[in-house]
Structure 1
């Protein structure tokens, strides 16, 4: 089984020339690098829904417990769950048998709630137990302003989940310590060839930042009415890993803003 463990220093120094940072219209935002320098903070500790950014924790928990070659059979419940909630799906069908590796791509690229349901059901076992693992992992990582209610980030009628920009950045830093996670979230397109066990699938990454700038590592997009358009992003800049979070932004603007924030961080890091 794989284990994802990394001690990361987050936010140990003062914001770097915050007044010169690009204008950010997202409700909450945060940018920090691997040396602990904060390049931007805006309502970064405000508790808000984070939509499909929740799937980063889903992937993180799965990677700590699963073998990538494990095979999971898709059920009618997995398919119906995503369809009933109007969530993004990976287009999975009842009876398909896919590996955990494939399902992680289905989870993170097209943001499949069907893949999330299948993984949570299998590795709880059961969704309630899996969500408990998500929350215990959040506590172990020091994400004190984060609470999960499901594995996909879709709104729940009561007792909704929440997180903060700071907590999401911390989680991303931990998750990116896994080479498997980095490979998955950095892929623009992933194809699953048809076999006797499953249909063919082609999944495209919803993170447009990957095609907009060099050195981008991922990480995840998200959207619900309550959360607005969200983006958790990371890139290599000036010899450091820069992680940023934009919560409740506009659809296309989140990508252009993230690109400018990565450039700003690089200028601060290199002094140029």
Structure 2
């Protein structure tokens, strides 16, 4: 689509079709803005927070993705106390950091989020370690120029986890440059075996995967203050586009519509969303 054609589409049809409270679409290679709506208005971001959780872990100096982490009862308690999304990690099981990243990013496990924050934070207690991890999340946001982003939790459960569509797109583009992150978020499902032999099966809450041809990620998020959110990416004919929609009841259709505006397609009209199996986490 020519620049003039895209401009015509974005200033007319898109402005009427996009139901998100905030949105941003960017070229994946250069980060050039392609379309936006309230791009710099801070909003609650729900579990899209976990993108930063993964980034902080993945950029830890000397990271060993095969490092073993034991699941503590406190991780399950965190989920129960907050009625949060879960990977259903079992107390006493041992999983690798790589496996916990799957548990974090596919079923949006808040138990995996606290496990990673506890493992990679510093301090003498779980509370101290997780707080230091959140400090690292904010420091990373600052280093990326995410000037309107604040993290108050490691999993998005705090209403004070705020970001803008533009900032979140910046983070998403940065995260997708990491091959481990990209390999995980494009999976529709995974089976992972804990050290004791227990098999975990996790399904990706991002229903754009398997529904929109070329979709390669990234992360869902839903909470009462944030509404339904989606950070997404797709590649067609060698071009990658990254987008964000915040507080949008039609987030998957909106994402497809925005992608269509760049890829010159009408997938959003005919797309049938991949259904999650009974009992799978939604987010």
TM bucket normalised to smaller: 0.7 to 0.9
Name the counterpart of 1:56.
Answer: 51
8 Å contact 1:21–1:40 — kept in the other structure? no
Tell me, which stretches of 5 or more residues in structure 1 are unaligned? 1-14
Deviations 1:52-96 (A, max 9, x none): 000000000000113110111111111100111011000001111
Structure 2-normalised TM-score? 0.84
Q: Select the residue among 90, 93, 117 that pairs with 1:93.
A: 90
What RMSD in Å do the two structures reach over aligned CA positions?
1.6
Q: Distance in 2 between matches of 1:173 and 1:140?
A: 14
Q: Select the residue among 99, 104, 108 that pairs with 2:101.
A: 104
8 Å contact 1:16–1:37 — kept in the other structure? no
Q: Select the residue among 128, 144, 147 that pairs with 2:147.
A: 144
Tell me, which stretches of 5 or more residues in structure 2 are unaligned? 1-5, 123-128, 266-283
Name the counterpart of 1:266.
Answer: 263
Q: Distance in 2 between matches of 1:231 and 1:36?
A: 18
Secondary structure class of the residue paired with 1:232: strand
**Count of residue pairs the alignment pairs up:** 248
Q: Distance in 1 between matches of 2:111 and 2:175?
A: 21
Name the counterpart of 1:135.
Answer: 138
Name the counterpart of 2:23.
Answer: 29
Q: How far did 1:213 drift?
A: 1.3
Secondary structure class of the residue paired with 2:174: helix
Secondary structure class of the residue paired with 2:198: coil
Q: Distance in 2 between matches of 1:21 and 1:35?
A: 25
Name the counterpart of 1:173.
Answer: 173
Name the counterpart of 2:73.
Answer: 76
Where does 1:209-220 land on structure 2 (aligned, <5 Å)? 209-220=208-219
Name the counterpart of 2:231.
Answer: 232
Q: How far did 1:214 drift?
A: 1.4
Q: How far did 1:38 drift?
A: 2.4
8 Å contact 1:16–1:38 — kept in the other structure? no
Name the counterpart of 2:274.
Answer: none
